[in-house]
Structure 1
Amino acid sequence: MPIPRVFAPACVAIAFGISTPAEAYPIDCAILLCLAGGFPASAECSAAHTEMIRRVTPWPIEPPLQLWRCPMNGGLPAGSAGGDVPDDVRHYREGIELWQVTKRSMNSSGGREVHRTISRHHYDEGGRWVRGEASLLSMPSWVDQQIIEHNGIGLAGDFGSFNGILMRYHDYRNQPSYTWISY
């Protein structure tokens, strides 16, 4: 039975009592519960957020949330993509979006050269973590806004260089949170 979004913070508090050591629970359950609660301040949620970031940096090596590893996964077989999950869980999983961006600006004998690489990673409706190339024109405005906020420059201009990953996810109130990782 799905957990209503309004109860997500209470679930985090109950699931992670003060006496529970960080190693005593499956990390993917912690990622799911802490994600729903907006990664509240706790040792368990800090460890869950750190693991989520480790999985996607310096490039998206593996999916940030692996529901098949969590006993609360609704009976999914091990290694399953996770398409058959409760609606609330699907909401959190499909709310994770990752943009991998690279920009290189350099002077050359022909003038200024700018190279950009943009890819989008997300969970599809079947629960598979998919990657697709993206263009500057297909990129939502919030991506460039976050890049500018964290780098002082965006993808559109002719100057500046950076490599990074921008991850967006939503909590139980459907409020987005952003994590920028430079590498």
Structure 2
Amino acid sequence: MKHTRLASLALAAGLTVDAQQAHAYDMDCAIMLCMAGGFPSSAVCSAAYAEMIRRITPWPSRPPFGVCTYAAVPVALGGPGGEDALDISTADYEWLRRTRVLWWRGRSYEPRDEPRQWDWSIRSCDHENKNCHYIVRVYGSHSPWPASFASENGQDIPTPGSGGLWAFYSRAVMMEYGDYDGAMDYTDWVRY
């Protein structure tokens, strides 16, 4: 009897760990599927959107989505029955590879005996939040940063505001993503 209880507890603990791991993989698939649809209104897509933003919000910053293992789900459970993770390098997933993580940094200051100056930069990273490069970098401008900028995907994206009358430093992160049909969209800026 004692061994039966112990075995039952061990089995329950193992199922809990497997369920938590499966839930994490399910979230990656949900992020990709909801992104493909432009994050339609639903409880699942709202949770997927929130998780995506949580992942890119520092620190530590991670990729907005991980490997979707839906391809490895057995046919008996409704999956395609593959052995590997979903391969997003094919032409069908070009829309997903257009995802960019955009990092904003801006400041305003008054050097001694000079008028106010502004510095700002926008760094763009790929869908894995790696391979980053600056798409805009301005130092010592005598005019404030622009109200918007053109992204690598051709969108006109508004820059974050200054954060108030006395805020002279601003950092924020956002995501630019496309849906399955190729329409581009972006998230709100998240300050950190």
TM-score by length of 2: 0.61
* 4+ residue runs over 6 A deviation: none
For residues 57-136 of structure 1, what are the structure 2 equivalents within 5 Å? 57-58=57-58, 61-67=61-67, 69-72=68-71, 75-76=83-84, 85-88=89-92, 90-111=93-114, 112-123=116-127, 129-136=129-136
Q: Once the two structures are aligned, what percentage of the paired residues are identical?
A: 31
DSSP 3-state at the match of 2:48: helix
The answer to whether the 8 Å contact 2:88/2:96 transfers is no
> Aligned partner of 2:106: which letter?
K
Aligned residues: 145
Q: 1:160, CA displacement in angstroms?
A: 5.9
Gaps of 5+ in 2: 1-22, 73-81, 139-148
Higher relative contact order, structure no. (Cα contacts within 8 Å, ≥ 6 residues apart): 1
C-alpha deviation, 1:145, in angstroms:
4.1
After superposition, the CA RMSD in angstroms is 3.5
Alignment CA distance shift 1:36-1:162 (3 Å):
same
How far is the alpha carbon of 1:58 from its aligned partner? 2.9
Classify the secondary structure of the residue corresponding to 1:108: coil
Which residue is 2:16 aligned to?
Answer: none
Give the structure-1-normalised TM-score. Answer: 0.63
Give the direction of change, closer, same or farther, for the CA distance of 1:166–1:110 in structure 2 (3 Å limit).
farther
Q: Once the two structures are superposed, what CA deviation does each residue of 1:1-57 show, in whole Å capped at 9, x if it has no partner? A: xxxxxxxxxxxxxxxxxxxxxx69710110111111111111100000111000001
Which one has the largest radius of gyration? 2
CA distance change for structure 1 residues 142 and 132 in 2, over 3 Å: closer, same or farther?
Answer: closer
Task: Give the corresponding residue for 2:183.
Answer: 175
Change (3 A) 1:84 1:174: closer
1:147 aligns with 2:158: yes
